[in-house]
Amino acid sequence: MSFVDLPPPQSTSLESQSPRWKKILVVALLCASSFILGGLIFGLRATTAPEVDLRQLWEVWNMVQTRAVDGKTLQPKDFVRGAAQGVVSALNDPYSVLFSPEESKEFTQQLEGTFEGIGAELGIREGVPIVIAPLPSTPAEKAGLRSGDVILKVDGEDVTTLSLDKIIKKIRGEAGTKVTLSVIPLGALNKKSFIQSDIKEIEIIRASIQIKTVETRDIDSRIGYIKISGFNADTVNDFIVTLREVMKKDIQGLIIDVRNNPGGFLDASVQIAGLWTGARPVVIEKGPTIGEVSQIPRRKDAPLNGIPTVVLVNNFSASASEILAGALQDYELATIVGEKTFGKGTVQDLAELDDGSLLKLTIARWFTPKNRSIDKEGIEPDIVVKLDLTMEDRLIIGPLPLSKDTQLQTALKHILTR
């Protein structure tokens, strides 16, 4: 199979119409300073403060200042920040967060794909903090942290009732320092009761991590295989470079593996999907401030349209990876194989405030081209294949051997028997 129409690599632009706002699509506040998910930039209308009775706020403010043991040591800016954080926390949305200037600096580094931490993503499932995925070749993966692990304690402190951002603060840290996580597989937690032996104590040494989100390996000489572990600023370029190498072979089809992919830049997922969809809409966003907006790739051709494609997904494929899978499924451009996806279909905006703080705020939900809502629903595969792994299998570092990966086996068979 020849492949002549692949476009040259292009940078994913983060130039803005308004430099204070960045649209991001997030499945998780990324545990231990993992990369954060993002995308296009745009401006929002400023709105006036609502006419509400703020007397209670000032009464509490006065009581804290005059009666609290440590009230007099606080500065007015501390009260203001606490009030602002209260406004955000009132949303009861784990994906809406007010970052301090110090946290904002770390967040910006994460957007660039370099950070210090353990390298894993967190989400909330069934009310508890759960590992979406450890990033490949990171301290988290090497130490044995696995997708589906529920974090019970950080350095001996119970974190099951804390917000995601507070858990992140406890786990992140400088390279070379140690953190101990007490975890339990989600399956064990779902039992009516679990015993102490179900809990694993995982000691992890934090490191400086450079994220590589695209990789390939030889699965079958007749099939091209590309794994996307996330969508960051380099993913589109890296995908195209990798795709060029894969397509040099006379292959019969492609397998795109987004299992354990927590998401990433909205624009990156849209541009990669566009290699199959062309100029057709990839995702539709709906929200009170933006109305209804279709995200369309910046291209007219569709060089991968017609190439047999399988997209591999699982319970921890989320956000931007669900956008890719949902669009290709809607247009019947790929067969989706694996397990139902995570179901993260909300969009966050990132706003820079005057003091250097950042506000990450959920402002919309997204829908597939056929107007399917994925939030809390997920993408149902065309071919459902559960991956039943033993505890020994779950401790394997790196990709599963093909002999144990029944989902990948099914993808290969599907293409080769067409």
DSSP-H helix ranges across 139-251: 139-143, 164-171, 186-189, 235-246
Phi/psi of residue 361, nearest 5 degrees: -135, 130
34 is catalytic: no
Phi/psi of residue 190, nearest 5 degrees: -75, -10
| Six token digits for residue 342 | 């995570």
Beta strands in 296-357 (DSSP E): 309-313, 335-338, 346-352
85 is catalytic: no
Q: Which of 104, 344, 357, 360 is catalytic?
A: 344
319 is catalytic: yes
Q: Which of 147, 348, 357, 407 is catalytic?
A: 348
Tell me the angle at which helices 266-277 and 320-330 cross, rounded to the nearest 10 degrees.
20
C-alpha–C-alpha distance, residues 228 and 259, integer Å: 8
CB atoms within 10 A of CB 190: 10
C-alpha–C-alpha distance, residues 113 and 213, integer Å: 9
C-alpha–C-alpha distance, residues 319 and 270, integer Å: 12
Under 8 Å between Cβ of 327 and 334: no
C-alpha–C-alpha distance, residues 24 and 395, integer Å: 32
Under 8 Å between Cβ of 74 and 87: no
Q: Which residues contact 164 (CB under 8 A, 6 or more apart)?
A: 28, 29, 94, 97, 122, 123, 124, 129
Q: Which of 96, 104, 319, 329 is catalytic?
A: 319
Report, as residue numbers or ranges, the catalytic residues: 319, 344, 348
